Amino acid sequence: MYAGAQVSLYPMADDFVGIILGALHALDPYRDALRIETDDISTLMVGPPEKLFPAMRDLFVAAAKGGTHCVLSACVSRGCPGEPDDPFCTPAIQVGAVGPLKERIEAARNAVVAAALTGQQAAAQFSHYPLGVGHHMDEIYGCIEFLKTSGVFDRPKNFCTKLRGDAGPVFATLEQAFLHFGAPPEGHVTLDVTVSANSPTKA
Amino acid sequence: MYAGAQVSLYPMADDFVGIILGALHALDPYRDALRIETDDISTLMVGPPEKLFPAMRDLFVAAAKGGTHCVLSACVSRGCPGEPDDPFCTPAIQVGAVGPLKERIEAARNAVVAAALTGQQAAAQFSHYPLGVGHHMDEIYGCIEFLKTSGVFDRPKNFCTKLRGDAGPVFATLEQAFLHFGAPPEGHVTLDVTVSANSPTKA
């Protein structure tokens, strides 16, 4: 298993460097669990798949809490066959489309309900790509059923699904879709994720 | 065929609204060829696949030319089976993995060499997802061979490939990978694209 994300943070402000540097402390609690490496386009986070969304959520909330329009954009991946198997990425929980769909939908909903609120409103959209061997349309429809009852479902859009709500349940919903739908434990799933706060544009 | 992109533009400046509004005129020449629709997260462009990258390039260059650190992020898709077939999206050129790989690599290189320079330097990274029926590894390796000799190849990264150069050949390279590799004319291909200009971070 290899899992990780290429994450970018875009504060729409002259002081974007200060806002990004000020938010980075939010990653401190994750530095033992994730390998983190930055270049001029994105920050790579590699580690157990269940650590990725909490780290991204805390980074996003730390950047957005001052009221600046901020966007977090990420390419999140598990099981990419082009990456080496890495014991560092071994999940501590069950990951993958394992067990009856109905039970996974229920468990995913419960995880979102249990997610702590952050006090930061967010709008998000994402595309869910199950790669490799044929599409499992039951998986896709099951994931959509989960999303529609997640409490943060906004609407379907072309090529993606839109969410809206507190950043806690929004990131929890993205995490559940990533961890428990689309492909078996060793299968390849990616998410193309955009999360936005404080936009001056009306939804 | 249904083709389009969800495109977001992020100017890292207090005047981000002014910079975005000032750049939108760059889309005027494409308004007959593309249906364009905006919400608080992204702008949907729908139309022939070969119109998408020139429109994104011109929007990006118009936003970046004042020297502000700007990022364009896009989810680009053709042949998504979840979207309706739309005659408006019918390409005017041959699209898809058609014909010998060697000839396509050569044609893609020639298209990049012929791309007009914009005077705007850019760094980009993208992930290429051929979806649906099994992976065609020859296609992936063929596309990588093209990228490495495109003249704007920077380096492979985890989950994506990084490009660097003038925005003209950079967008032309993304377009060639999207149009001519990965899946047949009616197959499903998506690109997760990030293009950045004027970053204060050293590469």
pLDDT tens sequence across A152-179? 999 999 999 999 999 999 999 999 999 9
Q: Given pLDDT bands bounded at 50, 70 and 90, which one contains residue A136?
A: low
Residue B128 lies in a domain: yes
Which pLDDT tens digits describe chain B residue by residue (203 residues)?
A: 999 999 999 999 999 999 999 999 999 999 999 999 999 999 999 999 999 999 999 999 999 999 999 999 999 999 988 888 999 999 999 999 999 999 999 999 999 999 999 999 999 999 998 887 665 677 888 999 999 999 999 999 999 999 999 999 999 999 999 999 988 898 899 999 999 999 999 76
- Structure confidence at residue B9 (pLDDT): 98
- Structure confidence at residue B134 (pLDDT): 60
The C-alpha atoms of residue A197 and residue A183 are separated, in whole angstroms, by 30
Kind plus residue range of the DSSP H or E element containing A63: helix A49-64
Residue A135 lies in a domain: yes
Residue A202 lies in a domain: no
Residue B89 lies in a domain: no
Q: Minimal Cα–Cα distance from B61 to chain A, Å? A: 17
B59: domain CATH number is: 3.30.70.930
Chain CA centroid to CA A64, Å: 16
Chain A residues with CB-CB distance to B11 below 8 A:
12
- Structure confidence at residue B133 (pLDDT): 61
Chain A residues with CB-CB distance to B6 below 8 A:
125, 157-160
Task: Mark yes or no for CB contact B42/A194 under 8 Å.
Answer: yes
Residue B86 lies in a domain: no
Q: State the total domains in chain A.
A: 1
Residue B35 lies in a domain: yes
Structural domain containing residue B50: 3-81+94-197
Residue A203 lies in a domain: no
Residue A145 lies in a domain: yes
The C-alpha atoms of residue B143 and residue B102 are separated, in whole angstroms, by 10
Chain A residues with CB-CB distance to B34 below 8 A:
none
| Candidates B37, B159, B178, B190, partner chain A, best to mutate (most A CBs within 10 A) | B159
For A23-35, what is the mean pLDDT? 97
Chain B residues with CB-CB distance to A203 below 8 A:
39-40
Task: Mark yes or no for CB contact A134/B132 under 8 Å.
Answer: yes
- Structure confidence at residue A183 (pLDDT): 87
- Structure confidence at residue A111 (pLDDT): 98
Chain A residues with CB-CB distance to B12 below 8 A:
10-14, 16
CA-based diameter of chain B, in Å? 50
- Structure confidence at residue B136 (pLDDT): 60
- Structure confidence at residue A133 (pLDDT): 60
The C-alpha atoms of residue B72 and residue B56 are separated, in whole angstroms, by 8
For A175-201, what is the mean pLDDT? 94
Q: How many CA within 13 A on the CB side of residue A29?
A: 10
- Residue tagged 């060697």 (tokens): B102
Type of residue numbered B76 = V
Q: Minimal Cα–Cα distance from B51 to chain A, Å? A: 17
Q: Tell me if chain B has a CB within 8 Å of the CB of A17.
A: yes
Q: How many CA within 13 A on the CB side of residue A25?
A: 4
Kind plus residue range of the DSSP H or E element containing B160: strand B160-166
Chain A residues with CB-CB distance to B133 below 8 A:
134
Q: What is the pLDDT of residues A93-121, one digit of tens each?
A: 999 999 999 999 999 999 999 999 999 99
pLDDT tops 80 at residue A78: yes
Q: Among B159, B158, B149, B153, which residue's Cα sits nearest to residue B124? A: B153
- Structure confidence at residue B138 (pLDDT): 78
> What sign results for the dihedral spanned by CA atoms B56, A191, A12, A155?
positive
Q: Given pLDDT bands bounded at 50, 70 and 90, which one contains residue A135?
A: low
Per DSSP bridges, beta strands B3-11 and A160-166 are unpaired
Q: Tell me if chain B has a CB within 8 Å of the CB of A176.
A: no
- Residue tagged 């479902």 (tokens): A153
Q: Minimal Cα–Cα distance from B116 to chain A, Å? A: 24
Task: Mark yes or no for CB contact B125/A6 under 8 Å.
Answer: yes
Q: Who contacts A154 (Cβ-Cβ below 8 Å, separation ≥6)?
A: A123, A162, A163, A164, A203
The C-alpha atoms of residue A175 and residue A52 are separated, in whole angstroms, by 8
- Structure confidence at residue A52 (pLDDT): 98
- Structure confidence at residue B127 (pLDDT): 95
